[in-house]
Chain A
Amino acid sequence: MARLIRTEKEVEGRYEEVWLVVEEDALEQWPQGPREIVGRPATRVDGTERATGQAVYTADLRLPGMLHAAVLRSPHPRARVVKLDLAPALAQPGVHAAIGPDDLDRLTFEPTFQGEAVAAVCADTLAQARAALRTVVCEFEVLEPLLDPDEAVRAGSLLGEPRVRTRGDYERGLAQADVVVEAEYRTQVVLHNSMETHQSVVEWVGDGVEVHISTQFIWGIRDGVAEGLGLPPDKVRVICHYMGGGFGSKNSPDDYTWIAAELAKRTRRPVKCALTRREENTAAGNRNATIQRLTVGARSDGTLTALGGEFVNAVGSSGWSSGTEGPMQMLYACDNVKTTTYGAKLNLPPMKAFRAPGFVEGTFGLEALLDELAAKLDLDPLELRRRNYAEHATEGGDYSSKNLLECYRRAEPHWERRHAVRARSTDTVKRGVGMASQIWYGGGGPPSYAWVRIGSDGRATVVTAMQDIGTGTKTAMAQIAAEELGIPLEHVTVSLGDSARGPYASISAGSSTTPSMGPAVRAAAADARRQIEEIAEQRGLAGAPIADVVDVLEDAQILGKGARGPNPTGMQVLTFGVQVAEVAVDVETGEVWVDRIAAVHDVGRVINPLGASSQIEGGIIQGIGHTLSEERLHDPATGRLLTTTLDAYKLPTIADVPEIVSELIDVPDAHLTNLGSKGLGEPPIIPTAAAIANAIRDATGADVRQLPITREEMLRALREAKERERHGVPAGV
């Protein structure tokens, strides 16, 4: 029965209260362990299409009569347009339209970050559009930018109120401590660098609009575009069959969609607006920089008595101040915690969610701090974490399930390798092992729907208007349907990627796709199976294979429908894990390399172990880039960006990727839906930086405090450690 409930919905750690129509989830969970299909490795059902170039991404789309847009973006972080003349562009060959801030309110005369869109033109070819754009007369009055996050906090240039979260009595906890460690950590701006840049193709059809877009949220685009264009949502069709990477940055329509829509309206042609690599790495979002001033107090046995932090998120000109304090608040049992988080509003490009926003940065700070404490107390870092294990949630409802202790247990053989690893050190190359824990969301939630259609050929089609953002969702959904129906995986097709073809589906962000969509798909398959069983009963074929039962259907079809049920009331659905990194440090040249990372994560039931290990590898590789080589730099005086190309902005190459060992606990969350599955998109990137930093400390005794750990940061930390040693001060001070 459908039921209207008031519930908390969580995406990327941000909660909102919403009214939801939910349907009861009547199915029992499958027993723990691999089933016939679910829980067993499956290669991607669309692997061949993707590998052979048959898959049509938004970037590949060439609609008849399609025009190409080029966008004039502010080269200055803060400026005022004092003169804008589009007329010369309109006179250029192939040009069909040109627009400025007077034509579209998403364009601006007063840019507040480098890359903010001022004007746009469209032409028959992209080259023509770009050539025409160069003829636009645009004069800027350059204004003084605000670039320093601490200065922004002092000046009150903030996005939202500072977030103060307290538990117990922090000052008293600090007074009870035998040992106090304070440290300041900094993390850098990193770029999503989606292989397929942000882009849309918009076409007006009849009294509505069709939007082809590289997105993580088909239905969010539909609602956003409808609102922005003043159309009923049903007049907006959103299509995204394949997507070339988003990592949190492709959840909303953004300037390119509005520009394409306006130009398409004016020209009555489909218009593509695609960001170049340089535009992508300027204006498509980023993981914001942070400053974390942290304090931990503990008794000599390692019991935490106080945790405190001041967190500054250098958000940029807009965006939100993510939960960088989250790990400090949530990961350990500590009675006295106080955190203050500021979102600094700056004249730098706005942040966008990037794979566990806040928690990646906050885990680096917290888990490095914990190891500095362990060094000071001369305690085994893993033991220190066990002693402060949170049996119950530190605030709010209790955990729906938690197997972090089991993660620690499974990590032990990897942790034990540290003695052998250290023993391989030489005079110049020091080796060590470090670990870090992970906590994050990942429970998904309603609403999400799916249909399952079965014809007389015994084959099933799962229909739902969701997106596969490249994570293997299509394969996982096919596995769930095949498992429930008891038919081979090859007999299931998944139709997705089009809001006109299928019911509402959730966002693919916040590690929510599998836990949101999977239960709906299983429910739809179960509904179809129930109908088939009823027919079988009537034909005296009870217990026969589906193919034998549906054989008589001819043109008739079995249609099953399923909905995602509610999350458990009064409980927090969270994911957990631990990673153990082995590194080598050349103490003369500051070179750091990672030899091996073992990852053990607890995300409930695993649908596709092969897809899951790919997710873990991808997260760790992205984490290694974040830790060692990636950084978006800007000129300190003007704020203009310096590293927007792939030669200057250094992503890890395959040579930088170590041996990665991944393990999953694979125990269903008994309280969560008919599957007991949580999401895995984000957890693997969360502990990587801290595990590497802690391994560096294990190898060298040096405390790295800043990401990326470049040669200069490594050499600085080594010098500091040497100084300390000379003065006989223990590590962690």
Chain B
Amino acid sequence: MEYRQASSTEIDGTPVHGGTEVVPLIRAGLLHTDTLVDIRRVVPRGIDGGRIGAGAPLAELECDPTIPDVLREACRLAASPQLRNMGSLGGNLLQATRCWYWRLNWPCRLNGGDECFARDGEHREHAIFGNDYCASAHPSDVAAALLALGATLRTTQRELPLAALYRLPTEDDRRTTTLARGEVILEIDVPPCEASVYLKAMDRKRWAFPLVGVAAVRSGGTTRIGLAGVAPIPWLLDDGFESATPLPRNAYKVDVATALVKRARTQLES
């Protein structure tokens, strides 16, 4: 495997920034590449008001007083200090699911197979929305926060709302993002908001992916709720939890999410 520094944003190979996701995926045999391109020198990393370089490490965002509470808190509650020192904002948005079947390389639908093993198997950490084809859960706290904030991304090829970065996997296309090969996220634009909060339920106090993450943002008199850990992609909550389709062993996520959403709304009102 070749490893080289990127000299421009024309990337020919697999981009790697902090490496906290790419390296484990290579080790686990889930990502195959001949060339790793280190993009740390070509991706902006500054924080300038509502414009955040995709290379900004979570560790810097978690203590930045100028960004919305929801984003700062989502960064603070993600991973461990060591991982947050390495992991970038852009990379965090692109991390893959923690579904154990997928991570252990089972021939599941995300891995190109024709079965979702989690649906009939062990799925306590899995999706309660959008889970009929693939029950994996998206693990990014930060993505839920940016979704609720209505952030937009600038990539090497285009500008797009964050929501348009993600897609539910289908029979014809198993990918969960719309990013083209060689396309790299450069900057994230975060619109201002009136108030925001991030609440997270996990199996231990720190260093765990969200069972449920709730990002709530009030802006222009309306409140938007983004959820982490409840669907194969970051999930914008529109009409409450009636449309949830929990599996036998993860119905508790509906209760937890309902409670956290109520709590988040209360906090925004106070």
Contact = CB atoms under 8 A, between A and B. Distances in A.
Interface residues of A, number: 28
Interface string A626-642: 00110001111100101
B120 A656 contact: no
B113 interface: no
Contact of B203 (A635, A637, A650, A716): A650
B191 to A, nearest CB: 30
Interface string A641-659: 0110101101011011000
Interface in A648-672: 648, 650, 652-653, 655-656
A43 interface: no
Contact of A589 (B98, B201, B249): B201
Given A712-B249, A712-B251, 12 more contacts: A588-B255, A589-B201, A591-B201, A633-B100, A635-B122, A642-B101, A642-B122, A643-B100, A656-B206, A711-B203, A711-B211, A712-B250
Contact of B252 (A593, A629, A715): A715
16 contacts: A590-B255, A628-B203, A635-B121, A637-B121, A640-B104, A642-B101, A643-B100, A645-B103, A647-B209, A653-B207, A655-B206, A656-B204, A656-B206, A711-B211, A711-B252, A715-B256
B208 interface: yes
Contact of A635 (B103, B117, B205, B263): B117
A131 B161 CA distance: 43
B24 to A, nearest CB: 9
Contacts of A636: 121-122
B268 interface: no
B259 interface: yes
B40 interface: no
Interface of B: 80, 98, 100-101, 103-104, 117, 120-122, 124, 201, 203-209, 211, 249-252, 255-256, 259-260, 262-263
Contacts of B117: 635
B103 A648 contact: yes
A710 B203 contact: yes
Contacts of A634: 122
Contact of B124 (A590, A640, A656, A710): A710
For the complex of A and B, the 3 pairs showing the least CB-CB separation, nearest first, are A588-B259, A655-B205, A712-B252
Contact of B204 (A637, A648, A652, A715): A652
Contacts of A590: 252, 255-256
Contacts of A647: 98, 209
A642 B100 contact: yes
Nearest to B256: A589
Nearest to A719: B255
The winner among A590, A634, A653, A711 for most chain B CB atoms within 10 A is A711
Nearest to B79: A647
- Interface of chain A, helix or strand or loop or mixed? loop
A613 to B, nearest CB: 23
A643 B121 CA distance: 13
Contacts of B206: 653, 655-656
A656 B204 CA distance: 7
A650 to B, nearest CB: 5
B186 to A, nearest CB: 29
A591 B252 CA distance: 12
Nearest to A653: B206
The winner among A589, A634, A648, A710 for most chain B CB atoms within 10 A is A589
B122 A589 contact: no
Nearest to B260: A589
A711 B250 CA distance: 10
Contacts of B260: 589
A716 to B, nearest CB: 8
A590 B117 CA distance: 27
A650 B256 contact: no
Given A589-B260, A590-B252, A635-B122, A711 B201 contact: yes
